[in-house]
Amino acid sequence: MATRRRGKQTNGSKRKNDHVKNGTTANGDVTNGKLEALDPFRESGADEMLTTNQGTRINDNQNSLKAGARGPSLLEDFVLREKITHFDHERIPERVVHARGTAAHGHFRVYQPLADLTRAKFLQDPAVTTPVFVRFSTVAGSRGSSDLARDVRGFAVKFYTEEGNFDLVGNNIPVFFIQDALKFPDLIHAVKPEPHNEIPQAASAHDTFWDFTSLMPESMHMIMWVMSDRAIPRSLRMMEGFGIHTFRLVNERNEARFVKFHWKPLLGVHSVLWDEAVKISGRDPDFHRRDLWEAIASGAYPEWELGLQVIEEDQENAFDFDLLDPTKLVPEELVPVHRVGRLTLDRNPDNFFAETEQVAFHPGHVVPGIDFTDDPLLQGRLFSYTDTQLIRLGGPNFHEIPINRPVAPVHNNQRDGHMRQTLNTSRTSYEPNSLGGGCPFQAGAQMGGFVSYPERIADAKMRRRGEKFFDHFSQATLFWKSQSETEKHHIVQALRFELGKVETAAVRERMVGMLANVDRSLAEQVAEGLGLAAVPRVEPPLNRSIPADGKPESFESRRAKPARPLERSEALSMANTIKDTAKSRKVAILAADGVDATAVETMKQALTAAGAVAKVVAPHGGTLSGTRGSDITVDFSLLTVGSVLFDAVFVPGGAQSVKTLKADAMAVLFVNEAYKHCKALAGTGEGVTLLPGHNGAHGAPSSVEEREEGVVGGGDGDVPTVAAELLKALARHRAWSRETKAEHVPA
């Protein structure tokens, strides 16, 4: 039963169902039934007196009850006992994986009815908005770990549909490490901090992870993604999402098709550099959490389009890979992604614990029209989530926690258990019954009852995988070949870093040998970085994913490699992403006393008008005295931020300001790091002389032609022109052509 808002008369009233219609009001506002359903649970304490949990008003919240002012505390003190007891039990176990996360409310709307594909009601009517709650996460780290770990990001979406909750529990990478859920505990044990000393936190760069990986050829495709910049996103708002497994869509005529789910971010897919990730982890370990929160709070609502790759049932075996194998993707060149709807996140949670921590996602939460396939990883997941939530959330009634309640009505004969909230009033808690009029009764398919797709299965019981599962390298190679030179360089550097942290030489060598199966030049470059004289001989993979006494030749397909492998897939490279918007990008305006106040104001206005965010960073907090006597509010002192927390830096003119900044090591580091990280740099007036990469850095301002990519501005102080150039450079995200030079800038 819901706790009620104070003052509402509730005695005798029947609990209203949470079922709420969603849609759009006459003035275009989105109505979100889930947010309304959460209302009775919200409590602010505003204008209220302090009470115990029993509602007794508390007169003294400072002193416990004692026998005399200096005497012992009394057991009778129910205020003390209740408060301390509740505090003692405030913690619950963190998620065994994906412990670190952040979430937001929003809504989803389909563009066109999808009746041909699915009977799912929330995919039929463009006028209907479906409330969602989305939780993003890292996988390996603890709840308090840094957002910028090199890791997969969870992308879990709970759709509160009128037919029940549908959870799309995906990641920001379209494939996974393993093919069978039986290996999941091994994978997670290997990547988590090592058991003897619990080191390292939220990092795969250690022996046990690479020991396991080097023995698991099926991980190799995923390893390419995790070593790429996809694993260090610029923002949770700038990540793709994937359902990974092949699912089924089923329409009213009971026709089924295979489907892969995609989320395509409207801001494009962008990442930071590893050097930034390391520094952000120190400067602001909550970087992603803060970025999402601030964007939503400021009205810059993140958006994604839902994409579907649809495959006819009779095409199941038309590919070189197996649709049931979660280590493979379906290249967009083979099956295009159709964008069918839009997800918008527009409200931050009220309470992290109640919502973000207590939300319980489950890939098995489906609605009529969406069904599973026999992907063995998915099948294992269907067991795992409820099982783990039973202990994490303390019992079988966690579906009654407000954030987990569907907006669809819930009626069944499940009863009792820890923390049961519902007051079931019926005498009957069994079915069939006559005493309760047969209620609640089964729903026919026409009444929205879920009917499992009648997939035909006729085979012997066995512990095996499909033959095509054994091609572990073709798509890893496809991914590698599809990357830009910059992306390839970053993958090599990531592998050098990760394996460089591995203490056991044999593990490092085996891993490099394994990489040679993906691409020889990749393995050679990594070997060089590790100081290996040559790529170690490629041994047959040690783990062949077969039983102890199995014979490999009877398991692996003779055609383990595709006959005509795809050479390149544009969609796999972030270089081909959206680069036409500077919206929500953060620009630091680096200034000191004596700064050109007009330049600051003009730049601020231009950036804000384009939807970017401008913040003044200065050697001290408070205000700066600008030219012409005007005061400028400082947002951050140099001590509290670094340029790693921004997308670009603008240095306005003002002789005194620039002189001060040049003499300040923190200010010089600020611009040097931004340069090294290939960010847009802009200057006007004397400010130009502070910019590395600008020929005028240590002398007179140079002409436009002499500037490097992403370094904009000139000495003539035309701020609107510089602002326009800066916005273009911001939209391109980074000036990668500078990267090799930038490595020589000490920062």
- Residue nearest ligand HEM (C-beta atom): 154
Torsion, Cα of 93, 97, 103, 109 (10° steps) = -130
In one-letter notation, the amino acid at residue 528 is E
Closer to ligand HEM by CB, 180 or 276: give it: 180
Residue 532 C-beta: closest distance to ligand HEM, Å: 33
Neighbours of 328 (CB within 10 A): 26
CB of 101 to ligand HEM, least distance (A): 5
The answer to whether 599 touches 685, Cβ cutoff 8 Å, is: yes
Instruction: Rank residues 226 and 360 by Cβ distance to ligand HEM and give the closer one.
Output: 360
CA-CA-CA-CA dihedral for 254, 257, 260, 265, to nearest 10: -70
Contact criterion met (CB below 8 Å) for 612 and 584: yes
Q: What is the 3-state secondary structure (H, E, C) of 354-381?
A: HHHHCCCCCCCCCCCCEECCCCHHHHHH
Q: Is 553 helix (H, G, I), strand (E, B) or coil?
A: helix
Residue (326 or 685) nearer to ligand HEM, CB = 326
Q: Using CA atoms, how far apart are residues 709 and 613, in angstroms rounded to an integer?
A: 22
CB atoms within 10 A of CB 104: 25
Q: How far is CA 51 from CA 37, 60, 231, 477, 541, in A?
A: 25, 10, 47, 64, 65
Is-catalytic flag, 98? yes
- In terms of DSSP bridges, do strands 711-714 and 680-684 run parallel, antiparallel, or are they unpaired? parallel
Q: How far is the CB of 321 from ligand HEM (least distance, A)?
A: 16
- Which listed residue (22, 32, 98, 172) is catalytic? 98
Closest CA to 187 of 114, 96, 112: 96
Minimum distance of ligand HEM from residue 390's CB (angstroms): 10
CB of 323 to ligand HEM, least distance (A): 14
Closest CA to 131 of 155, 165, 99, 91: 165
Residue 177 or 473 having the CB closest to ligand HEM: 177
Supply 326's token pair. 């979660």
- The one-letter code for the residue type at 109 is R
* Residue nearer to ligand HEM on the CB measure, 329 or 722: 329
Q: Minimum CB separation from ligand HEM for residue 646, in Å?
A: 28
393 vs 589, beta carbon nearer ligand HEM:
393
Which of 171, 348, 397, 672 is flagged as catalytic? 171
Cβ at position 641, least distance to ligand HEM in Å: 29
Residue closer to ligand HEM, measured from CB, 237 or 604:
237
Closer of 233 and 654 to ligand HEM (Cβ): 233
Least distance (Å) from ligand HEM to the CB of residue 99?
8
Q: Count helices and strands (H / E) in the chain.
A: 18, 20
* Residue pointed to by tokens 């969602």: 132
Nearer to ligand HEM, 238 or 403 (CB): 403
Q: Which residue, 167 or 686, has its beta carbon nearer to ligand HEM? A: 167
DSSP H or E run through 742: helix 739-742
Shortest CB 6 distance to ligand HEM, Å: 31
Instruction: Tell me which residue of 230, 271, 218 sits closest to 518, measured CA to CA.
Output: 218
DSSP-derived secondary structure letter, 13? P
Minimum separation from the CB atom of position 498 to ligand HEM (A): 21
- Name 169's Cβ contacts closer than 8 Å, sequence gap at least 6: 154, 156, 157, 361, 362, 363, 381, 385
Q: Are 98 and 139 in contact (CB under 8 A)?
A: yes
CB of 169 to ligand HEM, least distance (A): 5
Read out DSSP for 510-536? HHHHHHTTT-HHHHHHHHHHHT-SSPP
**C-beta of residue 361 within 8 angstroms of C-beta of residue 392:** no
Fill in the amino acid letter for 474.
S
Q: Are 558 and 472 in contact (CB under 8 A)?
A: no
Distances (CA, A) of 693 to 130, 188, 592, 611, 739: 49, 44, 22, 27, 11
The residues that touch ligand HEM, with contacts defined as CB under 6 A, are 95-98, 101, 135, 137, 154, 156, 169-171, 176, 181, 184, 244, 326, 359-361, 377, 380-381, 384-385, 388-389, 392
Retrieve residue 574's tokens: 């972030």
Considering the complex, state which of residue 466 and residue 529 has its C-beta at the smaller distance from ligand HEM. Answer: 466
CB closer to ligand HEM, 361 vs 675: 361
Quote the least distance from Cβ 407 to ligand HEM, whole Å: 19
Judge contact between 734 and 677, C-beta under 8 A.
yes
Tokens of 675: 């340069």
Active site residue 576: no
Question: Are residues 131 and 33 in contact, defined by beta-carbon separation less than 8 angstroms?
Answer: yes
The catalytic site residues sit at 98, 171
